[in-house]
Amino acid sequence: MNKQKAAVLISGNGSNLQALIDACKQPDFPVEITAVISNKEEAYGLNRASEAGIPCHVIKHGNYATREAFDKAMHEQLLHHCARIVCLAGFMRMLSPWFVAQWQGRMLNIHPSLLPAFKGASAVRDALNAGLRETGCSVHVVTDEMDAGEVLLQAKVPILPGDSEESLHQRIHAQEHRIYPQALKMLALKLVQGA
């Protein structure tokens, strides 16, 4: 099978990266991960990539004078690894409009809310504080506006009495790990068909 090459950008634990790695191991999954890039050298996700034999790179944003210079360094690595798709998986940096334009329609993000509700970095806490009975997660196409691109897949997650931010996030994670590979597959097949 002719697989689409993808790279994953992370900043931390990388449990979503792991879900993508596991999915890509399936012979009939239309994507292979050719690189993992982290802006943090302590990101546990780097261990997951190494264990899976995937080349990984630490590119520290602090070493670059501007956001765009950092993004250009990442972009070079992505091209070097022939990536055609970029998956953000807990990548905690805003991307420059230049970078977003390079990957238009080819970059996905996973977000822990039912977008358009609760954009931003405290989505799980915000849903909990809102006193709702349900939240969830979304995989969306990345555009210039944060957490605002087309949503490809969502999953609902109940908010249970006594939930802490941690217990709720754990339940959300389980759904993220299910829908992120599905959404990646959808995008890969769409790109192959030239749709």
Q: Catalytic residues, which ones?
A: 111
Measured from the CB atom, is 74 or 123 closer to ligand GRF?
A: 123
| Min CB(15)–ligand GRF separation in Å | 3
Q: Which residues contact 126 (CB under 8 A, 6 or more apart)?
A: 113, 118, 120
Measured from the CB atom, is 71 or 147 closer to ligand GRF?
A: 147
Report, in angstroms and rounded to the nearest whole number, the Rg of the chain calculated over CA atoms: 16
d(CA 9, CA 28): 23
- Residues near ligand GRF (CB under 6 A) are 12-16, 89-90, 110-112, 137, 173, 176
d(CA 8, CA 24): 12
Contact 179, 23 (CB under 8 A): no
| Min CB(134)–ligand GRF separation in Å | 16
Contact 122, 145 (CB under 8 A): no
| C-alpha pair distances (Å), 7 with each of 10, 16, 17, 134 | 10, 13, 10, 32
Measured from the CB atom, is 83 or 110 closer to ligand GRF?
A: 110
Measured from the CB atom, is 72 or 119 closer to ligand GRF?
A: 119
| Min CB(39)–ligand GRF separation in Å | 13
| Min CB(159)–ligand GRF separation in Å | 15
